[in-house]
Structure 1
Amino acid sequence: MGGTIRRAAGRARTRTVSLVGFGLLAIVGAYGLTFGGPSLLLVLEAAVPTTIGVGLVWYGLRSHDDESGTERATIVTVTSCSCGALGALFCLSSISLLSLRMGFSGGLAQPAINALSVGLGFGAVLGHVYVEFSTHSRENERLSRAVDASMDGIAVVVDGRHVYVNEAYASLYGYRDEATLEGRQWWTVYTNESRRRIEREVVPALSDRSYWRGTLTGTRTDGTTFPQSVTVSALADGYVVVVRDVTDQRDREQRIQVLNRVLRHNLRNAFTVIRGHANLIGDRNPELEQRHITPIRAEIDDLLTTADKARGVERTLDRHGDAELIDASEAVRRVTDRARAAYPDARIVSRIENPGRGSTMLSIEDVVVDALDELVDNAIEHNTANASSSDIDVATDGDGRDDTAATPTVEITAHTVDTESQSRLEFTVADDGPGIPATERRAILEGHETALDHGSGLGLWLVNWIVRSTGGELSFAESDEGGTTVRLSFPDVTDTKREPTSVPTQ
């Protein structure tokens, strides 16, 4: 209720300019009724004040009810009334002095009304211009403070020279005073190789598509160099350069590459040696073979499988930038066909949306197929029924339901969720297994692992990375009948509305 009262008060304040206009029109009407005269003369006398009065009414009615509109209306009203009063007083005093000097007397009403109306109109224009300039001044000041406070280096370049740099930009190159860089050629802060790249890549890109993004090597005042991420955007008479020091990021990437190489090659070679010695021990002692060597081989196989999956994760994430759009139905079909071929003893059910006539199926990046494949693999391989499901003939009824309770079951669904603002494409992978541990789900959703909350592998992390990199959301839910439902929700890249009709496909 308080908000309603405040909005009503705001509307009342924004209408004050209209009230001034109505007041002027009332004065014009009273003048016509009081003094009368020929119609043509009255029209000529009322033309100027009537026009200004209507203009003030229109200006007041079009004002916004928000805080800026209220401020604008207040200032315009004050300046309009002040100028109007000053104009009328000046007119009356001038005519009075003139009548005393010249010795004549005449009507003062009509000149005073014209002076009042002109003053009101001039004051309204003056107040409006003042508000516009002050608003732009405040916006520019806020923008300037934001740019100055930015952690990224920002520079404005005109004719190849710095005309503005913020403190972060100057400090990146070792300058304590931003003014030292202003006026200098912007490419002088880069190495010779980066300068050649600017001429070869950056300048043509700005001409073709008005922006460029990449990595260059900057030079500090002490002669040291550093890698930086650079974004250049073209302006009407120059361009904006945004730079960020990525030394830590590059060092981290190099450490990861070295560790990855060690894990891939050195550990694989070590495991090969360990397996060979274990086999020799097992051949000489059958008892050790059963009790110790077989578990050693199993652990080695698990570790090598994890290493292979890590390589697959890297390839999948690297391919994300080159992903293609496919229909959601095609994504479900790919996942279903692969799962049925890889796990013939499991029951795979898929449900996809059947769009209305004339509509097209929602699209998604094909890299999401890898996430769905991983969820299906995880659901089947960790299902306790999987161990006893071999040699079982799966029978399904008309609804696609399996009559064999021991068979692992996975259902893959794709459908849309329509809201007032947008449509979202949702995939769900539901299973009847033991479920995903709460600690593992919590680690994935929170984005980091702890000593207590951690995952048992890379599968769910791969799913999480793919979903987040494609702008989606990941969630988990437990079924009352057992098992887990994993939901992947993505924004509709086609933004196409349709009537959702779910039909099963086999």
Structure 2
Amino acid sequence: MSLRLKTVLIMGETLVGLLAFVYGLTTIRNAGWLLVGAGVLFGTVCLLLMERLVLSPLARIIGDVQKVEASGDLSMRVTVRGDDELASLATAINKLLQALQVAQEALRQSESRYRAFNEELERRVAERTAELAAANRKLESEVAERIRAETMQGVAYRIAEAANHETDLVDLLRYIRQELGTIIDTRNFYIALSDPEHEMLHFPYYVDENLPAPGFSTTRARKLDRGLTEYVLRTGQPLLATDEQIRELVARGEVVPLGPDTRVWLGVPLMSDGAVAGVIAVQSYASPAAYTPDDLDLLRFVSSQIASAIARQRRNELLRQQSAAIEASIDGLAMLNADGEYVYLNEAHARMLGCASPQAVVGKPWRDWYPPEEVARFEREVWPALLEQGRWRGEAVGKRTDGTTFPQELSLAAMPGGMLVAVVRDITERRRLEEQFHQAQKMEAVGQLAGGVAHDFNNLLTAISGYASLVRDALPPSHPSRDDIGQVLAAAERASNLTRQLLAFSRRQIIAPSIVSLNDIILNLGKMLRRLISENIEMEIIPAPDLGAVRVDPGQIEQVLTNLVVNAGDAMPNGGKLTIETANVRLDAEYARQHVGVAPGDYCLLAVSDTGCGMTDEVKARIFEPFFTTKEPGRGTGLGLATCYGIVKQSGGHIWVYSEPGKGTTFKIYLPRVAAQPTAVPKREEELPLVRGQQTVLLVEDEPAVRSFAARILREMGYSVLEAANGSEALNLATQKADAPIHLLLTDVVMPQMGGEKLARRLKAIHPEMKVLYISGYTVNAVVHQSEIDEGVAFLQKPFTTAGLAEKVREVLAS
């Protein structure tokens, strides 16, 4: 029976019983209260029935279900009692639990299989992920290496390209630093090049944070030491060293600390031709981790390119310098092919050939630039020697494009492939200078000969003219022999003039220089010079207003000017113009190079120009030679210009002649300018009358005739004369007469054993008040070595006359 039917039957039976009970009570008591009590009773009964029949079994079922839920054990079952709906519910729950248990087992098995699959999948995914990660890392490394390699190759390529095109080493090194800065820190960067020959280390490019603005240097250099740079040079190995490692190197004595402390230093050798040529280095003052071994590898990789670039650039620079030197050379350089055609020549060679540019010569055969006789000589002598020895050197005659020829020094060298290198030097100027030098040597030799002859003649002429004067003075005025003696004296005077000119030419006459102005000398002689030339010659004097001073003997310059004016007058027999002018000039090194013996500097110019007949080159080559003249016999001695030459040379100057036939002649005299102020040129004074004397004169002369003549004149004038043939005799006499005064020493300048200058110094120690008068034809010591006597020293030129000796002695004693 179902639970619902049981419940209805029980509730019906209970209700009937309650209604019957209520009805009975109604009859007894108050019906209302009975109904209330019946209702309560009915409800209570219903609740009890519900608890017993429904709620308790249901609670048991719920409890069993909660136990299953709490334990999770689906194998537990709900207790089944009876066969009512609750039992069916319990049975159904048990079936559900059974089904759930089966499903749970299936799920557990499925989960186990899934877990195993998932674990396997995760394992495989992890393995694959690891493989992919490793592959990715490998790929990233390969990509990074590829990028690094491409970057390094790019840097190396651009450096090599820059080395091929960059003409300036500093610009190249600046570009190298800029390129390296794209991959490493180059704030402190330098390249050092070793110069072992001079033990120097040069830094053509040095960038450092410690340098003042602009922060780089292109001229740093120092002596080789034992720094980090030298360590790399010495070992030939790259070095990456932190500050700690640097201290270890210092402690081991490997290096010496130089410059500011660095936190890390990286240097790599620059190899060139198998040797260490330099070092490229970077450094950091901030962090020891600024550079890594990878940076070292990078720098080492590009160092070869940098070394090659620097070497190539330096070779190119050397080639450019050599090319510039070749183009700037005054020597010609040419290259000819196997056919003898010019393929290259420099500007100098083109100018030698009279061409505006080398292109005018390129492609033409060498035969076009030599005269036919030279071409024949080359084929006969030069080419066989060149083929045999590979080179030839000698002189030749070249031909210009206008047909003129010029002497040249030629050096030829055969090259592989039949090429020929020629070095050509135009020796026209050298030939001219050699001719000047040979002329100067010839003049010097002739001068020495003339000086020696003049000196000996002066001694003879002194005796001849002296004794002739004595004989003439001893004869009465009406004696017929006085005219004969006069002719002897006139001849001696002419001979004396000749010897004076010879001495002037040989630069052995005594000079008394002073600081003067050439303008003063010219203006003082103006009227006299006018009388030396004919009236149909116009004479113009053009003095420079600001002319400097010169140190010369005024009398000698007067003689030079007189000789030049006389020659100019003779060159203009039909009239013309004579110009005398002065100027301040500066002779530069180029002028000095073209004129033998000239030193660059400031000079005063004295120029004498005429519009006369002029001279040929042959005449100009000999005009300064003694006794050479183009005048008719009897009109000249040939010593005028030779005298001018000697005087100018003895005064430290130079004389040059410029002349063309039919156009006239200009003589230019250059005398060294001095800074001192000029003194006035003294006027010529009238001759003083002879005055007798009573003083003691010590006469020292090695020539007996001259000594005898001078002693006789002095004694006739009242002087007491002590005679000595040389310095030793003079010293003995002076010692013997030490208590007696010697008022004047009259001595020759050049004597055997002891010269006059030395004798005077020694005698001054014994007789300090003694005056000195030198006599000589010329001096070897005072003139040849010093070319002058000091200002204030008295001198009398041989040959001298009775009056000349008397005047000079009185002048010196009275001074």
Structure with higher Rg: it is 2
- TM-score of the two chains, using structure 1 as the length reference: 0.37
Structure whose residues are more often helix by fraction: 1
Relative contact order higher in (CA < 8 Å, ≥ 6 apart): 1
